[in-house]
Amino acid sequence: MDFQQKLLDITEKNHSILCIGLDIDRDKIPRFLFNSCGDPFFEFNRSIIDYTKDLVCAYKLNMAFYEVLGKKGMEVLEKTIRYIPDNIVVILDGKRNDIGNTARKYAQSVFETFHADAATINPYLGIDGVIPFLEYKGRCSFILCRTSNPSAVEFQDLKISKTPLYQIIAMKIKEWNHFGSCGAVVGATYPKELKKIRSILGEDIPILIPGVGKQGGDVENAVKNGTNKDGEMAIINSSRSIIFAGDKEDFAERSREKAMLLRDEINRYRR
């Protein structure tokens, strides 16, 4: 099954375009887990998944939070990916890229070693650094287009022949989509730019939309500007505001409550 069909199927089944970011953080995970189980990081992820798997279309794992833990982190990453139900999209967020030969190894790591459905990648090196990812047909490579951070304007708003760089990147994403494996990363914190990028990409290229929750992106604008005409082909990510909603034994229940509220809010604007 290709990525787009998998995304459409789980979006319909769970009536959701919500993605939860499983960004483990030693300083924020409930302390009791470190005293009550042998693998607190995986136990944290397992509990979040168990309590939210009917509310999401995807889980996104930011590799930095696992890599910082060394070998143990890689074990937790692998165990978590295996634990996620097969019908839910798995996104590995590493924003990888390099020259072609190295990019090929990054792509192999994400798609063959860890068996993710999607990656996030940086387009700065051009097509020869991107194509090793795109050659994995049936997967998706979400290309950084308009990121959610405040200083994104320093480069992404630079004009080339009067056209902002982020729009040129969006045009390139559409051009590079001949394998059908391109996506775009566009922050909810830039709603006007999100609307413009959707108009450039058309109906069928998925957009990964971070920035709601702690970063302050507006849900209504993210949905209305980021989805296609059917209210699909967008993945709205929230991490900290959901997974760290509680710090006691009921942390997973608190996370479910936050996830359900956000899923339902998103769905109010999808039609």
Which listed residue (79, 95, 195, 224) is catalytic? Answer: 95
* pLDDT at 153 (0 to 100): 83
Pinpoint the alpha helices (H) of the chain: 3-14, 32-36, 40-52, 64-67, 71-83, 100-108, 127-134, 153-156, 165-176, 191-201, 219-226, 240-243, 251-268
What's the number of domains the chain is made of?
1
Measure the CA–CA gap between 231 and 229, rounded to whole angstroms. Answer: 6
CATH code of the domain in which 14 resides = 3.20.20.70
Is residue 208 classed exposed, middle or buried when 0-12, 13-18 and 19+ CB atoms within 10 A define those classes?
A: buried
- Looking from the CA of 152 toward its CB, the CA atoms found within 13 Å total 18
Q: End-to-end CA distance of the chain: give it in Å, rounded.
A: 26
> Which residue ranges of the chain lie beneath pLDDT 50?
none
pTM above 0.85, yes or no: yes
Check if 195 is active-site.
no
Q: What's the CA angle centered on 84, arms 78 and 85, to 5 degrees? A: 140
pLDDT digits over 41-60, tens only? Answer: 999 999 999 999 999 999 99
* pLDDT at 93 (0 to 100): 97
Measure the CA–CA gap between 261 and 55, rounded to whole angstroms. Answer: 10
Amino acid present at 229: K
Helix, strand, coil in percent for the chain, rounding step 5: 50, 15, 35
Non-local (6+) Cβ contacts of 52 within 8 A are 20, 242, 255, 256, 259
Which residue range(s) make up the domain with 216?
3-268
* CB-based contact 17:52 (threshold 8 Å): no
